[in-house]
Amino acid sequence: MNVSLILIILLVGAFATYFAGDKLASKVALFFGLASLGCSLVLLNHFNLGENISFINQWINQPNVSFALHADGLSIAMLLLTTALTPIIIFTSFGNDYKNAKAFYALILFMAFAMVGTFLASDGLLYYIFWELALIPIYFIALIWGNGDAEERKKAVVKFFIYTLAGSLFMLVAFVYMYQKAGSFLIEDLYNLDLTVNEQIWIFAAFFLAYAIKIPLIPFHTWQANVYQKAPAVGTMLLSGIMLKMGLYSVIRWQLPITPLAAKGHSTILISLGIAGVIYGSIVALRQKDLKKLLAYSSLAHVGLIAAGTYTLTLDGLRGAVLQMIAHGFVVVGLFFISEIIFRRYETRAIAEMGGIRTQTPKFASMFMILVLASVALPTTFNFVGEFTVLYSLSQINVWFALLGGTTIILGAYYMLKMYQQVMLGETNTKPFAEVTFQEGLALVIIIAVLFFFGMYPKPITDLITPSLENILTQINRIK
pLDDT at 27: 95
Listed in sequence order, the residues at least 6 apart from 363 whose beta carbon sits closer than 8 Å to its beta carbon are 435, 436, 441
Listed in sequence order, the residues at least 6 apart from 101 whose beta carbon sits closer than 8 Å to its beta carbon are 22, 23, 25, 26
Q: pTM for this one?
A: 0.94
Rounded distance between C-alpha atoms, residue 57 and residue 237, angstroms: 34
State the burial class of residue 452 (Cβ atoms within 10 Å of its Cβ: 0-12, 13-18, 19+). Answer: middle
Backbone angles phi, psi at 446, to 5 degrees: -60, -45
- The per-residue pLDDT string of the chain (480 residues; one tens digit each, 9 = 90 and over) reads 688 899 999 999 999 999 998 899 999 999 999 999 999 999 999 998 888 888 888 888 888 888 999 999 999 999 999 999 999 999 999 978 889 999 999 999 999 999 999 999 999 999 999 999 999 999 999 999 988 778 888 888 898 999 898 889 999 999 999 999 998 999 999 999 989 999 999 999 999 999 999 988 888 888 888 888 888 999 999 999 999 999 999 999 999 999 999 999 999 999 999 999 999 998 998 888 989 999 999 999 999 999 999 999 999 999 999 999 999 999 999 999 999 999 988 888 888 888 888 888 889 999 999 999 999 989 999 999 999 999 999 999 999 999 888 877 788 889 999 999 988 887 776 678 888 899 999 999 999 999 999 999 999 999 999 999 999 999 998 765
Rounded distance between C-alpha atoms, residue 124 and residue 183, angstroms: 12
- 476, 257 contact by CB (below 8 A): yes
pLDDT at 453: 96
For residue 432, cis peptide bond before it (omega within 30 degrees of 0): no
pLDDT digits (tens, 9 = 90+) for 290-345: 899 999 999 999 999 999 999 999 999 999 999 999 999 999 999 999 999 999 88
pLDDT at 480: 53
Cα distance from N-terminal residue to C-terminal residue, the chain = 38
pLDDT at 410: 85
Rounded distance between C-alpha atoms, residue 325 and residue 308, angstroms: 12
- 143, 157 contact by CB (below 8 A): yes
pLDDT at 429: 67
Burial 12-42 (b: 16+ CB within 10 A, else e): ebbebbbebeeebbbebbbbbbbbbbebbee
pLDDT at 218: 85
pLDDT digits (tens, 9 = 90+) for 428-440: 766 788 888 999 9
Strand partners, 56: 68
Rounded distance between C-alpha atoms, residue 116 and residue 81, angstroms: 10
The alpha carbon of 266 is separated from its chain's Cα centroid by a whole number of angstroms, namely 25
The DSSP 8-state label assigned to residue 72 in this structure reads: -
Listed in sequence order, the residues at least 6 apart from 390 whose beta carbon sits closer than 8 Å to its beta carbon are 305, 306, 308, 309, 316, 317, 320, 321, 324, 405
Give me the torsion for CA of 165, 170, 173, 177, rounded to 10°. Answer: -150
3-state SS assignment for residue 2: coil
Rounded distance between C-alpha atoms, residue 316 and residue 8, angstroms: 35
Q: Which helix (H) or strand (E) holds 303?
A: helix 291-310
Nearest CA-CA partner of 187 in 263, 261, 134, 257: 257
pLDDT at 479: 61
Listed in sequence order, the residues at least 6 apart from 383 whose beta carbon sits closer than 8 Å to its beta carbon are 324, 327, 328, 331, 374, 375, 376, 377, 451, 455
Neighbouring C-alpha atoms within 13 Å toward the C-beta of 414: 11
Rounded distance between C-alpha atoms, residue 81 and residue 84, angstroms: 5
pLDDT at 430: 64
The identity of residue 283, as a single letter, is: I
- 208, 310 contact by CB (below 8 A): no
- 70, 465 contact by CB (below 8 A): no
- 148, 228 contact by CB (below 8 A): no
C-beta neighbour count of 302 within 10 angstroms: 29
Burial 238-273 (b: 16+ CB within 10 A, else e): bbbbbbbbbbbbbbbbbbbbbbbbbbbebbeebbbb
State the burial class of residue 395 (Cβ atoms within 10 Å of its Cβ: 0-12, 13-18, 19+). Answer: middle
Nearest CA-CA partner of 5 in 117, 155, 109, 87: 117
pLDDT at 247: 93
Listed in sequence order, the residues at least 6 apart from 212 whose beta carbon sits closer than 8 Å to its beta carbon are 167, 220, 247
